[in-house]
Structure 1
Amino acid sequence: MRLNHFTSDTPAGGAATYPVDETKLTQDFYDAVNGQWAEHAEIPGDHSSTGGFMDLVDNIEHTLMADFADLLTGKLTPANPEMAEFKKLYTLARNFAKREQDGTAPLKPFLDKVAGLKDFDDLNAHLAEWYRLGLSTPVELSVEPDMKDTSQYALYVDAPSLILPDKTYYEPGNEAAKQLLPIFTQTITKLLQLAGYDAATAAKIVDQAKQFDALIAPHVKSAEESADYVKMYNPYPLADVDNKIDHLDLTGTITELLHDTPKQVILPQPTYFDAVNDLLTPENFELLKSWMLVGVVYDATGALTEEYRQVGGTYGRALSGQKQARSREKAAYYLATGTFGQVVGDYYGRKYFGEAAKADVRQMVLKMAGVYQQRLKTNDWLSAATRDKAIVKLQKLTIKVGYPDEIDPLYSQFRIDENKSLFDNLQAISEIIIANHFGHWGQPVDRKRWDMSAQTVNAYYSPSNNEIVFPAAILQAPFYSLEQSSSANYGGIGAVIAHEISHAFDNNGSQFDEFGNINNWWTEADLKHFQELAQAMIKEFDGIDFAGQKVNGKLTVSENIADGGGLSCALEAAKSEPDVDLRAFFINWANVWRMKATTEYMQLLLSIDVHAPAKLRANVQVKNLDDFYTTFNVQPEDAMYLAPDERVKIW
C-alpha cells in the first residue's frame, strides 16, 4: 500500500516555482497550481516523467552520486564494513572496461543449465537448485507472514509473471499489445544473439517462450483482481496442490528448499493451479524450456556489457515511453545502490536526516494519529463496538520514521570478490538473499524489517504488520520544511502521514486486525455501510477519461480511500493551528502531485497501478471537502463543484 509508484528508471525533474493561475482555481484546481510549471517542464530523455516526487529522487541521486564519487577516490571513508563492500561493488559496476572484457561469458553457464534440460525428470532433479539460483520457474515460491497468523511464516505458491504488464493486455484487439510484443521479440532475440545464439535459434526460442506465456495468461489475475489483498489468502493442503501437477515434483522440491514439508500452502491464484497440469505437459516442455531461457537472458540485462544493457532496456523503455537509456554511470549507481539498499539508506539517513529530525517527525506522526483517533471517537456512522476496535487498531499501529536503528544483518553476509565479474558477484549476492528468504521458514516473523530504504521517496502501510513507514527521503520540501507554513506542511507531509494511517481502514486494511491478521472486527451493519461508502468512492473515479483511456475505480479504490481520509484528517489538523491558512494547505496538496509524463507511461499506470493519476488525486479529493468550496468560493456553475450529496466522506 504505497503512496506512489516508481519504475526501475525513476523519473526526475527540476523544481522551479511558478505562480498560481487565479482564474483557474474553481475550474481545474490542479492546472491552476501546476499549469504554468507543466508548460515549461521537460521530461528528460532517460525518464518517463518529471515533477513533484521526482524532483526529490533527482536531488538524492545527484547528492549520493557526488558522495560516492568521493567514496571511490578515497576522500570519503566507509563508515562500516557493509559500506566497504558496497564500495567494491560500485567500483566493479563502474569498471566498464572489465565488463566489456568479461562480455556475456558469465551468463553462459546458466544458459547451458536450462538448454541442457531433457525432460521433466531432468528438471525435477535440478528444480530446488533452480530456486536457489533465482532462475525462472513455472511455479513461484515465497515465504511470507501467514495472513491469518502474522507471527508465523507461511509458504505461498504462486503463478509466474507475464511478459506483458497485465492479463488485460492479452485480450483480443488490445492495441498496446500489438505494439509491445514485436518490441519484446526484437529485444530478446538480440539479447540471445549477444549471448551466442544464432539468429534462427534465437527467433525460435522467443517464439516458443511467447507461446508458453500466452498459455499462462488466461489463468492468472489481473491487476484489478490482485488489488483485493484478502483474496490472495487461499490455504490448501500441499498434497492436494501437488496432486494437481503430474510432471512437477513440488513436494520434493519444497522439502529440499525448506528442510521441512509444510502440510499447508497458500495459493494467491488458485485458478492457475486448476489449469497448470494442462500447461506443464511433455508436449509443452520445449516451450517451457524456451520460456525459462528468455527469463535468464532478460534478468541479466544490467550486469553485463553496455550493449547488452542498452538492448535489454528497449522493451522497458517502450512500456514507459522513455526516449533513451540512462547513462552507464547512472545505471551503475542504481545497480549498486539497489543491491546495498539498506546500507546506502543508513548512510543517507544518518548524514542527511539524523536522529533529531527522526524524533521530530515521529512526534508529527503521533500528532496525526491523535487527530485520527479523535475523528474515530466522533465518527457518526460507526457503532460503538466497531469504533472501539478501530481505536485499538490505531493505538497498536507501529511507526517507523527515517531509517532503521541498525542495518539488516543480511548485508553483513555480502562479500565482493574483486577478481570476479560483476555478474558473478551479483549472482552470489542473489543466492545469499534467496537462502535468507527461505531460511525464514519455521522462524518467528521479524517485525523490525523495513521494506524500503531511507533514500526512497515514498511511504507505506503494511497490513500484515499494522505499521506505517516513512523513509527519510520523503520528509523534505515540498512535503515538509520549517520554511513552509504549518498549513502547507499539513497539505504535504501531514496528508502523507494520514494517508498511510487511513490504509489501516481502507477496503483492504480494514479486513486486518491490530496484530495484522485477517479478522473481521466490524459489526455486520457497519461493514455493510462501509462497503457502500467504498462503492461511492469507486463510482467517483470510475470511468474518468485520462490519457486516452479511463480510470478503473475498482483498481484504485484503496488508494483513493486513503487519499480521502488522509486529506480530510490533515485538514482538521491544519485548522487546529493558530496560523491556519487553508489556501496554502490546498495549494501544497496540489503542488506535491505535479507530474508530467509520457502518454505510454500514463497508460501503463492506468492499466496496472493501484493509484489514480496524480492530477486526479489532486483534483477529485478536494471536491469532497466542504472547506475547499469556502476557501476558493467554488460555486455550483464551476467545474470544480460537486453537489453536497455526491461528496464522498469516509474517514
Structure 2
Amino acid sequence: MKNILQVRGGAGDLTKADVNVSPKDNLYLAVNSAWQKDAVIPADRTEIGVNTEIDMRIEKRMKDDLAALLAGKEDVNSVPNLAKAVDFYKLALNIDQRNAEKTAPIQADLHELLALKDFSDFNTLAASNLNQILNSAVILPFAFEVDADMKNTQKHALYFAGPGTFLPDTSSYQAPDAEKLLQILAKQTQHLLELAGVETAEAEVIIKSGLIFDQKLAKVVKSSEEWSDYPACYNPISLAEFLIKFKSFAIKTYLETLFDKLPERVIVMEPRYLDKIEALFNPDNFDQIKGWMLMKFINNSAKLLSQEMREAAFPFRQAVSGVAELPPVQRQAYYLTNDFFDEVLGVFYGQKYLGQAAKADITQMIKQMIKVYESRIANNTWLSQATKDKAIVKLNALVLKIGYPEKLEAIYDQLKVEPTVSLYENQKVCSVIRAKYNLSKLFKPVNRNVWLMPGNMNNACYDPQRNDITFPAGILQAPFYDLKQSRAANYGGIGATIAHEISHAFDNNGAQFDENGNLNNWWTKQDFDEFEKRTQAAVDLYDGVQYGPSKLNGKQIVAENIADLGGLTCAIQANKLEGGNMKDLFENYARSWAQIQRPAAIKTEVSVDVHDPQPTRVNIPVQCQKEFYETYQVGPTDGMWLDPEKRVEIW
C-alpha cells in the first residue's frame, strides 16, 4: 500500500515532468508531463506554456496583419485610428533609422536633467509642466492618477501613490541576490550613460546617489503583499492636509500646472509614503533624487533608441527574468505600438478572429454561470438571508463585456504620430497626451463603458468599481474555449475562468464593493466575520507551498485563489447540470495552466504577482472538490488526498 505524505498541491515537484504519475497523486503532472518533458522555452522568453502559446499566436497574427496593413493588403481604415497605429509600428520597426540616430533623440532631455543644480532648479522644472520629460519617462518619485472614486463611482477622484523601486518588489531587497542584481543594474546604467555621452566620473556619481535613494524608497513604499489589499488604498484627505505634507517641493504649483482647478481632496494610496515624503523629497537629498531620476530615465529610454542601446539595457532584465536573448525588433515594435494603440488593435483583432457563433455561445455560458452562482449563493449555508439577497442583487447587476468594445475611447482620437521625427519623440508626445487625458477626467462623470482590456489580450478581468467582467477575444480560443471541443472541456477552460472572474466580485477585495461599484459594506457583521475566517483558511492553504526556488505568499495571492476555488466549484456545478464528463473538465482545467518557467522568472513572479504561478493553480483548487475524489477514486493514501477538514470552500 502506498504511504504518501499528504501535501497541499499533490505529491511530486510540478517543475519536473513525470509521465508515469497518476492523476490520483498529481493531476497537473499526469495531464501535462508528456508535453512538459519536451517543452523548450524560447530564448527571448521567460516561459512557455498554454498561455504563452496563445500569446504567441495572437502576436504572430497581429505582426502578420500589421505587415499586411503596411503593404496595403489590409484596409487601414477598417478601424478608426488604425492608420496612426500602423505609422507608429513603422517607426518602431525601422531599426536602421534608430541606429543612425544613436542617442540623439534623448540628448536635449538628458541634458536638461543633468543641468539641474539644486532642489530649486527641480521646482522650476516641475513648475514648467515638467518640460514633458518627467511625465513621459515616468521618473518622478511619486505619481498622480485620476480614477473613479471608490465610494462614489459616478465621480472621479485624484489618487496619489509612491514610485516603483529598481528591484521588482520591496521584499526583493532582502533576498540573497539583491546586491548582485543592483550591481548589474549599476554596471548597465554606467554603460548606457557613457554611450549617451556622460563622462565616466559623472556617471559613477549619478549611480551611487541613485542607488542610495532607491534603498530609502524600498523601506517606505508598499510591498506587493500590501498592494494586494485593494480597499486599503482608499485614504481620502483634504487638499490642505495633503499639501502641508510637502515642505520643500512646491506641490501646489506643480498641481496647478496639471489642473485648471484643484480638487477638494486627494485619495492617498500609500499613507506611509506620504508621511515620509518630506524626509525623502528635500534639498539635502537632491543629489540622490537627481541620480535616481537619471537612472530611471536612461534605462526607460534606451529601448526606444538604437540596437546598441537596446542591447546595453538588457543585462538587468536578463538577470531578473532569466530570459536568454533580447526579443527581436519586430516583436518589440508590436508591443511598443500596442502600448498606446491596444484598443485600436484589439478591435481589429476581434472583428477579424472572433466569430459571431463563438461570441453568442460564450455569452450563453456566462449567463449560465451567473445562474449557477445565484443558485450557490441562495443555497449557501453560512450566509444570512439579508447578505444573500444583497449578494444576488450585485450578481445580477454584473455588466458583461465580451470580445471587444463597439466604440473606441476618446483618447485614440487625440494621440498623434509624426512619421518624420524619432520613435523616442513620438513616444514622449503620446505619453504626455495620455497623461493629460487621464488628468482631464477629474471633474467629468465616469464613463462606465470603458474596457480595462483590449480585444487582442489573452486574459480576463473583473472591475470592482464598475462591477463588470471582461472577456477579450484573445482568450476565447483553445484550449480555454473551442466550439469543436466538448462542453465539459470548455467548462474546465473558459467556464472556470468565467466563474473565476465572477468570484472576484466576492473575493476579499471585491466583497467590499456594492452592485454599483462603490466601496460600501453590505454584509452583516456575523457574515463578514465568517467570510474572513474562510479567507484566512485560503491564505493558510497556499502559504509556504514550494514551487521551484520560491515559496508562495498566501496573503499576497489570496484574492486570486478565492476566485480560483470559486471558479472551479461553479464550473463543476454547471457541468453537472448538463451531464458533462468530469474527466474532460478536470483534464482541460489542468491543461489550461500548463507552463514551464525559468527559475529567475519564478522568483520575480512570486515576489510581485497577485496570482500564484500557473502550475500551482491546478492541484490545490482540485483538492478542494469532492467531485475530483469521486471521478478519480482518490483515497487517503493517494498524493492528491487532502483531509475534508483542510479543504476550503467559500463560494
User: Residue 141 of structure 2 corresponds to which residue in structure 1?
Assistant: 138
CA distance in structure 2 between the aligned counterparts of 1:83 and 1:23, rounded to whole angstroms: 50
The answer to whether the 8 Å contact 2:79/2:344 transfers is no
In structure 1, which of residues 33, 47, 51 is the aligned counterpart of residue 31 of structure 2?
A: 33
Q: What's 1:628 paired with? A: 628
User: Of residues 73, 91, 105 in structure 2, which corresponds to 1:75?
Assistant: 73
Q: Matches of residues 61-460 of structure 1 in structure 2 within 5 Å?
A: 61-78=59-76, 79-128=78-127, 129-130=129-130, 133=133, 134=135, 135=137, 136-171=139-174, 174-460=175-461
Aligned pairs for 1:592-603 (under 5 A) are 592-603=592-603
What is the CA–CA distance in structure 2 between the aligned matches of 1:404 and 1:583, rounded to whole Å? 35
1:517 corresponds to: 518
Contact kept? 2:552, 2:606, Cα under 8 Å: yes
The residue number in structure 2 matching 1:15 is none
Contact map agreement 1:506 1:561 (CA 8 A) in 2:
yes
Deviates most, 464-473 or 298-307? 298-307
Q: How far, CA to CA, are the matches of 2:306 and 2:441 in structure 1?
A: 35
**2:463 counterpart of 1:465:** no
Q: Which one is further off, 78-87 or 467-476?
A: 78-87
For 1:212-257, what per-residue CA distance to the aligned partner results, in whole angstroms no more than 9, with x for missing partners?
1111111111111111111111111222222122111112211221
Partner Cα distance (1:400, 1:112) in 2: 46
- Tell whether the 8 Å contact from 1:499 to 1:567 is kept in structure 2 after alignment: yes
Residue in 2 that maps onto 1:9: none
Contact 2:132 2:428 in 1 (8 A): no
The sequence identity of aligned pairs, in percent, is 40
- TM-score, normalised to structure 2, is 0.94
What is the one-letter code of the residue matched to 2:104? Answer: A
Written as runs of structure 1 = structure 2, the 5 A alignment for 1:16-55 is: 23-55=21-53
C-alpha separation between the residues in 1 aligned to 2:18 and 2:203?
A: 55
Q: Work out the CA distance in 1 between the residues paired with 2:25 and 2:106.
A: 56
Which amino acid is the alignment partner of residue 606 of structure 2?
L
Asked if 2 retains the 8 angstrom alpha-carbon contact of 1:130 and 1:137, the reply is no
Deviations 1:251-282 (A, max 9, x none): 22112211112221111111112112111222
Q: Is the 1:417–1:425 contact (alpha carbons within 8 Å) kept by the matching residues of 2? A: yes
Structure 2: give runs of 5+ residues left out of the alignment: 1-16
Question: Separation in 1 of the partners of 2:307 and 2:132?
Answer: 27
Per-residue Cα deviation, 1:35-58 (whole angstroms, up to 9, x for no partner):
111100000000000001111011
TM-fit CA distance, 1:476 = 0.8
Q: Distance in 2 between matches of 1:600 and 1:139?
A: 28
| Offset at residue 82 of structure 1 (A) | 1.0
Q: RMSD across aligned C-alpha pairs, in angstroms?
A: 1.5
Tell me how far 1:415 sits from its aligned partner. Answer: 2.6
Deviation of 1:132 (Å)? 5.0
Letter of the aligned partner of 2:49 in structure 1?
G
Q: Deviations over 1:341-382 (max 9, x none)?
A: 111111100000144433332222111111111111111111
SS at match of 1:496: helix
Matching residue of 1:14: none
How far 1:81 sits from its partner (Å)? 4.8
- 2:7 maps to which residue? none
| Structure 2 SS opposite 1:570 | helix
425-434 vs 237-246, greater mean Cα deviation: 237-246
Relative to structure 2, which stretch is displaced further, 398-407 or 304-313?
A: 304-313
Give the drift of 1:71.
1.4
Could you state the TM-score of these two structures normalised by the residue count of structure 1?
0.94
Q: In the comparison of the two structures, how many residue pairs are matched?
A: 630
In the alignment, what sits opposite 1:534? 535
8 Å CA contact 2:358, 2:483 repeated in 1: no
354-363 vs 383-392, which moves further: 354-363
Letter in 2 for 1:372: Y
Equivalent pair of 2:155/2:445 in contact (CA under 8 Å)? yes
Counterpart CA distance in 2 for 1:647 and 1:488 is 24
The whole-number CA distance in structure 2 between the counterparts of 1:255 and 1:358 is 46
Q: 1:236 aligns to what SS in structure 2?
A: strand
What amino acid sits opposite 2:27 in the alignment? F
8 Å Cα contact 2:79-2:347 kept in structure 1? no
